[in-house]
Amino acid sequence: MKSSKNSLYDDLKRQILTMELDPDEDLDEVSISERYALSRTPVRDIFRRLAGEGYIDIRENRGARVIPMNHSTLRNFFLVAPMIYAAIGRLAVQNFKPKQLVELKNTQELFRVASETADPVSMVVKNNRFHEIMGEMSGNVYLQPSLGRLLIDHARIGHTFFRPRNDDMKTRLRLAVEHHDSFIASIAAHDEKAVVNLVFEHWELSRENMEIFVAPDGLKADALVDGPASASLEKQS
């Protein structure tokens, strides 16, 4: 059974990745302590751990908040994400350990089940863990922190990918599952070129959906004309 401290750590990570907690949202130390039956010291320990992993920001005399997302964040994300993912993939092939490959396979099976049962929260968490493991496989102490930070915003920007609204999005989600299978097979075969090619295919698959979240379709100009307020005006005339 998980301790309250471990539950708090896991819950805050999940809530940040799935946008249950908004970017820049303040974290109330007192209410969190009460909810998890913890004193404020272990809550602060968890905050420091999550801050070190890039999930939250601790401000002097102002408390903790979810790490923000702004124009600069988004621009830098789209600029460097494919490069870092490709470097991670290349190094994962070179440096992975057998037990890491086993964990990658196990995580993929959990991701597959989540996709088949249409569980968006589990898909976000398991997809995030899948790519975290690839980072661990790389064995590179410089790239892993960058990957971790990228994955946080990748999950937040692309969270609607795991809530498909039409057949096209469902097809793309199935393709994402197939990509994961191919990553595993290519890493096991030490096929560096195949992994790097997959990285870019996988990136393109999610990029369009992330751009929709960043720049959604505008409201139709006739929405106000045809809406309830307009109907009310017509009755008065």
The whole-number pLDDT of residue 215 equals 63
The whole-number pLDDT of residue 5 equals 84
Name the DSSP letter for residue 97.
Answer: -
Mean pLDDT of 121-141: 96
- Cα 133 from Cα 95, distance rounded (Å): 12
Q: What is the pLDDT of residues 64-74, one digit of tens each?
A: 999 998 888 88
Hey, CA dihedral for 24, 64, 155, 140, is it positive or negative? positive
- Cα 107 from Cα 124, distance rounded (Å): 12
The whole-number pLDDT of residue 224 equals 54
**What strands lie across the sheet with 63-66, from one edge to the other?**
26-27, 63-66, 56-59
| pLDDT over 70, % of the chain | 88
- Cα 174 from Cα 166, distance rounded (Å): 13
| pLDDT over 90, % of the chain | 70
Name the DSSP letter for residue 228.
Answer: H
Mean pLDDT of 184-208: 94
Report the CATH fold assignment for 71-214: Four Helix Bundle (Hemerythrin (Met), subunit A) (1.20.120)
CA 98 to chain centre: 26
Domain ranges of the chain: 4-66, 71-214
The whole-number pLDDT of residue 233 equals 47
Average pLDDT, the chain: 88
The whole-number pLDDT of residue 91 equals 98
Mean pLDDT of 99-123: 96
- The domain 4-66: what is its CATH number? 1.10.10.10
Asked if pLDDT for residue 226 goes beyond 70, the answer is: no
Mean pLDDT of 55-62: 90
